[in-house]
C-alpha cells in the first residue's frame, strides 16, 4: 500500500482518512505489516495508531536449492516420511475437497486456537480467486490438512492458514508437509519470498513460532499498528477471547 518514497505527510493523510472513514463502523483498525514500516512510525502514531511489536518469518524462496539448504533437519525428516507414506499435494482442489479441509481447520480453531474463523464460503471463494492458492494434503483418499495462501505474482506467497491431522497417522506430518508445499510452490513460481504471516509477540512463549522457525526463515519484527475506535467494545472483545481460550 505504501510506496518506498512515500512521505510522512502522505502517510498521515492516508491514516487519518482511514480512521475517520471507519471510526463509526469498526471496533478497531489494525495493520499487519508485511514489510518494515518503521520509517513512518511517527506518522502512524500522530494519526492515533499505536505500534505493537510482533514477530514473523520470511523465507528465501529464490530457488529450491536455497529452500532445502535452509530447511531444518527435523523438518526434512518429517517431509521425507510423509511423502514415503503416500501423502500427495492437491494443487487445484474441488469444492468438496475444500469442504473436507475446512472441517479439519474448524476443529483446530474450536479446540485449540479458540478465535473466530472465516466461514466456509470465504475459502470456497478464495479457491476460485486468481490469487488464491489452496494446497491440500490427501492421504488414503481423505483430505487431512493443507495450507491456504495468497500469491502476489513474482513477489511473495503469504500463508494465511495451515493445519493438519497431526499425530493421527504414523509417520505422517500433514501440517509440516503443507507448509513445505507452500514454500515449494513459491520457489517454483518465481516468488522470491514466502511470508509465514506472524510468529507471536517477542519474549512470550509461542508454540507456533517454534514450529515455523524450523523452516529456515529469517525472523523479522515489523510489528503492527493498532487504532482502537470503540475502547469499551474492544476491551469486552479482548476479555471474551481470553475466556474462550481459558475454557478446556
Strands (E), the chain: 28-32, 50-52, 56-60, 88-90, 132-139, 142-152, 156-164, 193-195, 218-220, 224-228
1 domain-assigned: no
Give dist(CA 131, CA 128) in Å, integer. 9
Q: Domain of residue 27: give its range.
A: 8-54+222-246
Asked if pLDDT for residue 1 goes beyond 80, the answer is no
Task: Tell me, yes or no, whether 126 and 139 share the same domain.
Answer: yes
Cα angle: 68, vertex 74, 77; to 5 degrees: 75
- Same domain for 149 and 48: no
Q: Are residues 104 and 146 in the same domain?
A: yes
Instruction: Summarize pLDDT for 176-187 with one digit per residue, the tens.
Output: 999 999 999 999
In this structure, the answer to whether residues 232 and 172 fall within a common structural domain is no
User: What pLDDT does residue 206 have?
Assistant: 87
**pLDDT band at 246; cut points 50, 70, 90:** confident
CA distance 43 to 227: 13
Give the count of domains, the chain.
2
Kindly state whether residues 115 and 153 are assigned to the same domain: yes
- pLDDT for the residue numbered 207: 87
Whether residue 154 sits in one domain with residue 39: no
CATH code for position 207: 3.40.630.30
Please tell me the distance from the alpha carbon of residue 138 to that of residue 90, in angstroms, as a whole number.
7
Give 115's pLDDT tier (boundaries 50, 70, 90): confident
Residue % of the chain over a pLDDT of 70: 100
pLDDT of 152 over the 80 cut: yes
Question: Per the domain annotation, does 25 fall within a domain?
Answer: yes
Please indicate, yes or no, whether residues 50 and 60 belong to a single structural domain of this protein.
Answer: no
* 2 is a domain residue: no
Residue 189: predicted pLDDT: 96
Residue 178 placed within a domain = yes
- 3 belongs to a structural domain: no
Got the DSSP string for 181-245?
A: HHHHHHHHTT--EEE------TTS--HHHHHHHTT-PEEE---EEEEES-HHHHHHHHHHHHHHH
Amino acid at each position: 500500500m505504501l510506496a518506498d518514497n512515500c512521505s510522512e505527510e502522505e502517510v498521515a493523510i492516508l491514516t487519518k482518512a482511514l480512521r475517520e472513514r471507519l471510526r463509526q463502523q469498526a471496533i478497531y483498525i489494525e495493520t499487519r505489516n508485511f514489510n518494515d514500516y518503521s520509517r513512518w512510525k511517527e506518522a502512524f502514531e500522530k494519526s492515533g495508531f499505536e505500534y505493537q511489536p510482533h514477530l514473523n518469518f520470511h523465507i528465501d524462496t529464490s530457488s529450491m536449492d536455497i529452500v532445502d539448504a535452509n530447511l531444518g533437519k527435523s523438518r526434512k525428516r518429517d517431509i521425507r516420511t510423509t511423502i514415503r507414506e503416500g501423502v500427495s499435494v492437491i494443487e487445484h482442489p474441488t469444492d468438496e475437497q475444500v469442504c473436507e479441509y475446512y472441517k479439519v481447520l474448524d476443529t483446530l480453531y474450536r479446540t485449540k486456537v479458540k478465535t473466530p474463523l472465516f466461514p466456509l464460503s470465504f475459502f470456497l471463494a478464495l479457491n476460485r480467486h486468481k490469487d488464491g492458492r489452496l494446497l491440500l494434503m490427501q492421504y488414503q483418499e481423505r483430505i487431512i490438512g493443507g495450507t491456504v495462501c495468497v500469491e502476489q505474482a513474482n513477489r511473495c506467497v503469504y500463508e494465511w492458514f495451515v493445519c493438519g491431522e497431526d499425530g493421527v497417522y504414523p509417520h505422517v506430518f500433514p501440517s509440516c508437509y503443507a507448509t513445505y508445499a507452500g514454500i515449494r510452490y513459491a520457489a517454483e513460481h518465481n516468488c522470491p519470498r514466502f511470508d509465514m504471516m506472524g510468529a507471536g509477540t517477542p519474549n512470550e512463549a509461542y508454540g507456533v513460532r517454534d514450529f515455523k522457525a524450523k523452516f529456515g526463515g529469517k525472523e523479522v519484527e515489523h510489528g503492527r499498528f493498532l487504532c482502537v475506535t470503540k475502547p469499551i467494545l474492544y476491551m469486552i472483545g479482548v476479555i471474551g477471547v481470553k475466556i474462550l481460550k481459558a475454557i478446556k
